[in-house]
Amino acid sequence: EIVLTQSPGTLSLSPGERATLSCRASQSVSSSKLAWYQQKRGQAPRLFIYGASSRATGIPDRFSGSGSGTDFTLTISRLEPEDFAVYYCQHYGSTWAFGQGTKVEIK
């Protein structure tokens, strides 16, 4: 069973700053099966990144994903007000697993 651990739990930043979110897997995973979601309060998760680094439809290019093996990163180059939310990483395939989430809050 793959376990995904996200860090930090909460990231306090100001608009315009850069955000770096980490996702570590308990064993090596295929980067083609690693995704990132954004979830706002009361809404369903929205796919932002799939295949570790491909942006989903309509996702602005200030969002980028990278990594391989056991270590993956979601970077938001310059935070906009609408980016403050919870972000989850996910491994998908024949089974799915989610990290516990990172909350990006306004400092």
Partner 1 sequence: QVQLVQSGSELKKPGASVKVSCKASGYTFTTYSMNWVRQAPGQGLEWMGWINTNTGNPTYAQGFTGRFVFSLDTSVSTAYLQISSLTAEDTAVYYCARYDLKPDYWGQGTLVTVSS
Asked if 2 touches partner 1 (CB under 8 A), the answer is no
Q: Which two tokens stand for residue 53?
A: 């680094």
Asked if 1 touches partner 1 (CB under 8 A), the answer is yes
Question: Which 3-state string (H, E, C) describes 37-99?
Answer: EEECCCCCCEEEEECCCEECCCCCCCEEEEEEEEEEEEEECCCCHHHCCEEEEEECCCCCEEC
Asked if 7 touches partner 1 (CB under 8 A), the answer is no
Asked if 47 touches partner 1 (CB under 8 A), the answer is yes
Asked if 59 touches partner 1 (CB under 8 A), the answer is no
| Contact between residue 98 and residue 56 where contact means Cβ atoms under 8 Å apart | no
- Binding pattern to partner 1, positions 70-89, x when CB under 8 A? ------------------x-
- Report the interface residues with partner 1, using CB under 8 A: 1, 35, 37, 44-47, 50-51, 56, 88, 90, 92, 95-101
